[in-house]
């Protein structure tokens, strides 16, 4: 869980969203918003709980580099209309084969321009509203779908150049091959129809 909030300046609002508020006392800077289950719904609830100009969506187990905010500030200076993501590194709580997943994430996000939500999407509120937020009626992949909607709307998807670290424990718990194959299958199932939709829009443009 994110525990070091010292990298965030005082004007940054920090909002956690979940079905139940934690029993332990939260730091004074933290706002907890209770929401029903459903990641797309929870992400939209979090976005609606603040009126800030920029929205940064992070998983609770994200580990942030010291230069994260500096890189974001520079990125939005270069192109304020883009959706930004971070390179992804996995913690040492997973199988030794996670280096293959790291390479796959790099290829998927840099060459296919399809980052996932654990790469820390950051977007201006206006762009987020233009896309209609995250879809709440999907059984999975609301983050993947959000990026496809950005491509369909000709919104750039760019990397900040910095890294973010996330837990790999689900690969340890569920088995590396099973969890990796599941991600590949679900990703492809969602990507194929969106790819042809994008292709049609390009041909008709």
In a domain, 14, yes or no: no
pLDDT for the residue 66: 84
Residue 27 maps to a domain = no
pLDDT, position 126: 96
DSSP string, 91-140: -TTS-TTHHHHHHHHHHHHHTS----GGG--EEEHHHHHHTTSS-SS-SS
Per the structure, the complete domain to which residue 185 belongs is given by 53-204
Question: Is 25 a domain residue?
Answer: no
pLDDT band at 2 (very low <50, low <70, confident <90, very high): low
Question: Would you place residue 167 in the very low, low, confident or very high pLDDT band (cuts 50, 70, 90)?
Answer: very high
35 belongs to a structural domain: no
Q: How many separate domains does the chain show?
A: 1
Instruction: Give the Cα separation of 40 and 54 in Å (integer).
Output: 18
Look at residue 185 in the predicted model and tell me its pLDDT.
96
User: Would you say residue 99 lies in a domain?
Assistant: yes
Question: Which tens digit of pLDDT belongs to each residue from 20-76?
Answer: 877 777 777 788 888 888 999 999 999 999 999 999 999 988 888 888 889 999 999
Mean pLDDT of 175-179: 96
Residue 175 is assigned to a structural domain of this protein = yes
Asked, for residue 180, whether it belongs to a domain, the answer is yes
Per-residue model confidence (pLDDT) at position 7: 75
Q: What is the pLDDT of residues 78-134, one digit of tens each?
A: 999 999 999 999 999 999 999 999 999 999 999 999 999 999 999 999 999 999 999
Q: How far apart are CA 52 and CA 161, in angstroms?
A: 24
Q: Is residue 191 part of a domain?
A: yes
Identify whether the C-beta of residue 18 lies closer than 8 Å to the C-beta of residue 28: no
The enclosing domain of 158 has a CATH number of 3.90.550.10
Q: Is 113 left (phi over 0), alpha (psi -120 to 50) or beta?
A: left
- pTM value? 0.92
What the block records as the tokens of 30 is: 């933290």
CA separation, residue 124 to residues 1, 79, 112, 131, 165 (Å): 25, 11, 22, 11, 23
């Amino acid at each position: 869980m994110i525990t070091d909030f010292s990298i965030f300046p005082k004007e940054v609002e920090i909002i956690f969203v979940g079905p139940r508020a934690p029993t332990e006392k939260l730091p004074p800077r933290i706002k907890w918003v209770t929401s029903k289950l459903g990641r797309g719904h929870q992400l939209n609830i979090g976005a609606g709980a603040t009126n800030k100009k920029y929205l940064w969506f992070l998983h609770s187990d994200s580990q942030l580099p010291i230069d994260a905010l500096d890189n974001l500030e520079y990125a939005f200076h270069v192109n304020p209309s883009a959706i930004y993501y971070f390179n992804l590194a996995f913690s040492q709580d997973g199988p030794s084969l996670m280096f293959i997943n790291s390479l796959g994430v790099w290829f998927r996000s840099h060459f296919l321009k399809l980052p996932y939500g654990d790469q820390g999407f950051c977007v201006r509120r206006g762009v987020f509203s233009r896309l209609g937020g995250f879809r709440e009626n999907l059984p999975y992949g609301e983050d993947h779908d959000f990026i496809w909607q950005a491509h369909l709307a000709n919104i750039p998807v760019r990397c900040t150049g910095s890294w973010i670290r996330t837990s790999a424990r689900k690969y340890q718990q569920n088995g590396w091959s099973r969890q990796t194959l599941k991600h590949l299958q679900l990703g492809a199932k969602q990507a194929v129809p969106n790819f042809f939709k994008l292709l049609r829009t390009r041909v008709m443009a």
